[in-house]
């Protein structure tokens, strides 16, 4: 598929507005055309109504577009949030995220199921029952992201993806998360951090065909790398992901509309030029 968009996520939280504009110019000058509406920006849109017009001016100034949104995530924002009063607000805020994404012309909105606990499936389904109709109303595709614990492994996500059938509901494939759970040759379970043994209750289950299992539902993908044991969000090519195998498989997914660069550029001190060049070369070679 040659019509898959390339988009860029950047850590805007804590970046002053004048530097934000400088970084946006750097993205534009290095060939980027699409930026992801991040949680930091989504929160500003919800909490600071004037920011909507400000962001539109910035994007127009530098010839950039919002192609998709990474929705709010973490405690209080994940779909399995157990606190019922908070759940009501969480669902409404996700709806607002999708509405803002649509306002900017976005196509997808990625959300997290949340950290695993027993019985989490019912709260997730309850949230999806309300969020999928909202996605259909806005035209946004709501996408569940695969993770590294039992509640968001491919088999767990398929529970929701097969129960709720809608063209506005799908999956975001996170390459870094999948690589951590991938049984690469020579990989040793004892090298995982103690967190993994705890969350999997001593029985870590790896997934040898994550793309194949999720392929019919994939609408977007996060591109970043790691060593197979930790979610480091490294630049593609600097870790252990088999890109020559995974990228063609992702391109073959029938509903994929975008690749999202989710490298932690600020954390790894990677220039925007290097970021754009690496992602462009990666996508073109596969």
Q: Which domain holds residue 130?
A: 5-285
203 pLDDT exceeds 80? yes
pLDDT tens digits, one per residue of 239-254: 999 999 999 999 999 9
**E-state strands within 233-275:** 258-261
Identify the CATH number of the domain in which residue 226 sits: 3.20.20.150
Q: What is the pTM of this model?
A: 0.97
Q: What pLDDT, on a 0 to 100 scale, did the predictor assign at position 2?
A: 65
* pLDDT level of residue 45 (50, 70, 90 thresholds): very high
pLDDT tens digits, one per residue of 143-173: 999 999 999 999 999 999 999 999 999 999 9
pLDDT tens digits, one per residue of 80-99: 999 999 999 999 999 999 99
Give the 3-state secondary structure percentages of the chain, helix then strand then coil, rounded to 5.
45, 15, 40
Query: What are the C-alpha distances in Å from 222 to residues 174, 225, 261?
Result: 5, 10, 6
Grouping H, G, I as helix, E, B as strand and the rest as coil, residue 217 is helix
Name the domain count of the chain. Answer: 1
* DSSP assigned state of 124: H
């Amino acid at each position: 598929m040659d019509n898959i968009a390339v988009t860029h996520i950047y850590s805007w939280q804590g970046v002053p507005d004048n530097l934000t504009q400088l970084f946006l110019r750097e993205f534009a000058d290095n060939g980027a055309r699409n930026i992801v509406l991040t949680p930091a920006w989504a929160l500003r849109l919800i909490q600071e109504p004037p920011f909507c017009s400000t962001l539109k001016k910035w994007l127009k100034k530098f010839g950039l577009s919002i192609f998709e949104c990474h929705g709010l995530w973490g405690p209080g924002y994940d779909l399995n949030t157990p606190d019922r009063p908070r759940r009501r607000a969480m669902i409404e805020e996700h709806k607002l995220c999708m509405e803002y994404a649509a306002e900017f012309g976005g196509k997808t909105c990625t959300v997290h199921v949340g950290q695993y606990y027993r019985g989490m499936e019912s709260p997730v389904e309850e949230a999806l029952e309300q969020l999928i109709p909202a996605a259909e109303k806005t035209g946004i595709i709501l996408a569940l992201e695969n993770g590294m614990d039992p509640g968001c492994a491919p088999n767990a996500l398929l529970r929701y993806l097969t129960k709720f059938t809608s063209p506005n509901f799908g999956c975001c494939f996170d390459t870094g998360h999948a690589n951590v759970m991938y049984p690469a040759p020579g990989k040793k379970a004892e090298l995982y951090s103690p967190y993994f043994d705890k969350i999997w209750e001593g029985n870590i289950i790896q997934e040898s065909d994550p793309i194949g299992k999720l392929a019919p539902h994939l609408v977007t993908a996060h591109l970043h790398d790691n060593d197979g044991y930790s979610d480091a969000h490294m630049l593609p090519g600097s870790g252990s992901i088999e890109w020559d195998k995974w990228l063609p498989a992702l391109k073959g997914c029938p509903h994929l509309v975008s690749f999202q660069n989710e490298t932690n550029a600020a954390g790894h001190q990677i220039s925007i030029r290097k970021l754009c060049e690496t992602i462009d070369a990666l996508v073109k070679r596969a």
